[in-house]
Amino acid sequence: MSNGKRVLILGGDGFCGWPTSLHLSQQGYEVTIVDNMVRRKTDIELGCQSLTPIATIDERLRVWKELTGKKIGFINLNVAEDYHELLTVIKEIQPHEIVHFAEQRAAPYSMKSPRHKRYTVDNNINGTHNILCAIVESGLDIHLVHLGTMGVYGYGTAGMVIPEGYLPVKVDAGGKEVDLEIMYPANPGSIYHMTKTLDALLFYYYNKNDELRITDLHQGIVWGMATPETMMHPALVNRFDYESDYGTVLNRFLIQAAVGHPLTIYGNGGQTRAFIHIRDTVRCIQIAIENPAPKGQRVKIFNQATETHRVSKLAEIVSQITGAELRYYSNPRNEALDNELVIHNEQFLQLGLNPTTLSEGLLEDVVEIAANYKDRINMGIIPPVSRWREDIRLDPAGSDVPVTDNRIH
Ligand SMILES: NC(=O)c1ccc[n+]([C@@H]2O[C@H](COP(=O)([O-])OP(=O)(O)OC[C@H]3O[C@@H](n4cnc5c(N)ncnc54)[C@H](O)[C@@H]3O)[C@@H](O)[C@H]2O)c1
């Protein structure tokens, strides 16, 4: 049964967008996906493919309709380039909600070359600005939910707990101490992360000037790949990236363990990151669209992550479960060897999220699924190939001891 709410999912063919589209459709939302299929084309550029065989978008939607009776619409357009088509879609569909996943989302891909840097900025910034501009031009009261990243905070935290977007500060105003709440200082660690911090300024401006209702979700690294809906039929299976540009750390470790590749730890594995399971991603999006900021209130920011882990610890856990070998690679990123990360995420918990945290069972499930598809794996594209600077060493072979110096001397 439809709940009468129309949702546009921009980037709805991707890793997070596809399971979200199915989940919201299952919950009674009238879903239309907008995607230009660039992610599938990037696979060709990188000489890789999703570990899981993914059906065409037409086949995905046909099977979903056949199984559930629910129709999901699809429109192929580029939100960063096709402004008038986007505006027409918004005016015709009149969505209550727009969920924006449609960005180039891999930090290593954004650092590959000047072309990749420029593409990431053009695609992400123009896309986000076109969406905001089109919402205003449509004259409709649409709530925008954007997928941002925990990486906007940077990974040097002065020993404090990272708040949800806004930082209370005291400033000296001519000898008088004044309390303020400011946006947490942006500290991007890659061109990709920089586009997310620029997105945040665009949101700030359009919220202030045009009173747009906006929620920015600072999401952690997503792991796992299956949700109840994607498991309903082979044609609904989600994509699963394992190569070194788009594959994310925990999912990569699980696949490496499944195919007998050593776990690729960068540096000494001292990086601490925030994580969320894909099942919680789709629930968080539903919670976010059901709890929009009222008109006239500032941009709502949630930390969409359920736990933090040090990479070396994650590798040990995966190794204990699977027997995988640990291997250390010169870190292709320009970042501190070690960092701490403690985050606030109370807003989603208060709104009813029951987090799916790391458990042996769930980790084993992913390894098992990965093992089923291991014939599709190209081992040659597992080691890192993109680096943050020319003087950073790329290290396809790795070593059996931690690597603490990543520079070319
Ligand atoms: N995957 C993660 O671990 C993770 C973590 C934090 C945040 N996020 C954020 O979530 C969002 C979705 O990530 P994902 O993992 O699903 O990425 P993805 O690359 O799998 O999906 C993005 C989708 O957007 C589409 N797209 C990109 N540019 C477009 C454009 N200009 N016009 C139309 N469609 C376009 C792509 O074709 C793709 O289907 C991103 O914004 C990302 O920054 C993801």
Look at residue 156 and tell me whether its pLDDT is greater than 80.
no
Binned at pLDDT 50, 70 and 90, residue 296 comes out as very high
Residues 302/348, Cβ–Cβ less than 8 Å: yes
Considering the entire predicted model, what is its pTM? 0.97
Distance, CA 337 to ligand 1 centroid (Å)? 28
Helix (H) or strand (E) holding 360: helix 360-372
Residue partners of 315: CB distance under 8 A and separation at least 6:
253, 263, 265, 269, 326
Q: Is the CB of 227 under 6 A from ligand 1?
A: no
DSSP for 110-154 reads: HTS-HHHHHHHHHHHHHHHHHHHHHHHHHT---EEEEEEEGGGG-
Across the range 354-366, mean pLDDT stands at 89
Distance, CA 196 to ligand 1 centroid (Å)? 12
Q: Which one, of 240, 260, 265, lies nearest residue 333 by Cα?
A: 265
Q: Exposed, middle or buried by CB within 10 Å (0-12, 13-18, 19+), for 173? A: exposed
Report d(CA 311, CA 263) in Å as an integer. 11
Report d(CA 325, CA 262) in Å as an integer. 5
Residue 180 lies in a domain: yes
Domain span at residue 261? 6-381
Report d(CA 68, CA 71) in Å as an integer. 8
pLDDT digits (tens, 9 = 90+) for 110-153: 999 999 999 999 999 999 999 999 999 999 999 999 999 999 99
Report d(CA 226, CA 256) in Å as an integer. 18
pLDDT digits (tens, 9 = 90+) for 70-99: 999 999 999 999 999 999 999 999 999 999
- State the CATH number of the domain containing residue 43: 3.40.50.720
Residue 404 lies in a domain: no
Over pLDDT 70: what percentage of the chain?
100
Residue 396 lies in a domain: no
Residue 321 lies in a domain: yes
| Tokens linked to 385 | 């190939």
Report d(CA 318, CA 27) in Å as an integer. 34
Point out the catalytic residue in the list 20, 119, 120, 196: 196
Residue partners of 198: CB distance under 8 A and separation at least 6:
124, 125
Q: Is the CB of 12 under 6 A from ligand 1?
A: no
Report d(CA 157, CA 2) in Å as an integer. 44
Binned at pLDDT 50, 70 and 90, residue 360 comes out as confident
Pocket residue to mutate for ligand 1, from 39, 48, 273, most atoms within 8 A of Cβ? 39
Residues 46/381, Cβ–Cβ less than 8 Å: yes
Binned at pLDDT 50, 70 and 90, residue 68 comes out as very high
Residues 144/212, Cβ–Cβ less than 8 Å: yes
Which residue intervals of 186-334 are DSSP H helices?
191-210, 249-259, 278-290, 311-322
pLDDT value of position 319: 96
pLDDT value of position 199: 98
Q: Which one, of 295, 234, 220, 285, lies nearest residue 31 by Cα?
A: 285
Q: Residue 176 catalytic?
A: no
Q: Rounded mean pLDDT of the chain?
A: 96
| Tokens linked to 281 | 């991603």
Residue 43 lies in a domain: yes
Could you tell me whether strands 30-34 and 166-173 are parallel, antiparallel, or unpaired per DSSP bridges?
A: unpaired
For Cα atoms 187, 192, 195, give the angle at the middle one, nearest 5 degrees: 70
Look at residue 66 and tell me whether its pLDDT is greater than 90.
yes
pLDDT value of position 281: 98
Residue 168 lies in a domain: yes
pLDDT digits (tens, 9 = 90+) for 231-249: 999 999 999 999 999 999 9
Residue 142 lies in a domain: yes
Across the range 57-72, mean pLDDT stands at 98
Helix (H) or strand (E) holding 91: helix 83-93
Pocket residue to mutate for ligand 1, from 21, 22, 35, 301, most atoms within 8 A of Cβ? 35
Distance, CA 404 to ligand 1 centroid (Å)? 32
Look at residue 101 and tell me whether its pLDDT is greater than 90.
yes
Number of domains in the chain: 1
Point out the catalytic residue in the list 32, 149, 227, 281: 149
**Residue at 170: amino acid letter:** K
Across the range 264-274, mean pLDDT stands at 97
Residue 409 lies in a domain: no
pLDDT value of position 157: 64
How far are the Cα atoms of 74, 156, 289, 295 from residue 138, in angstroms, in the given order? 20, 41, 20, 16
Look at residue 158 and tell me whether its pLDDT is greater than 80.
no
Binned at pLDDT 50, 70 and 90, residue 280 comes out as very high
For Cα atoms 396, 404, 192, give the angle at the middle one, nearest 5 degrees: 65
Across the range 205-221, mean pLDDT stands at 98
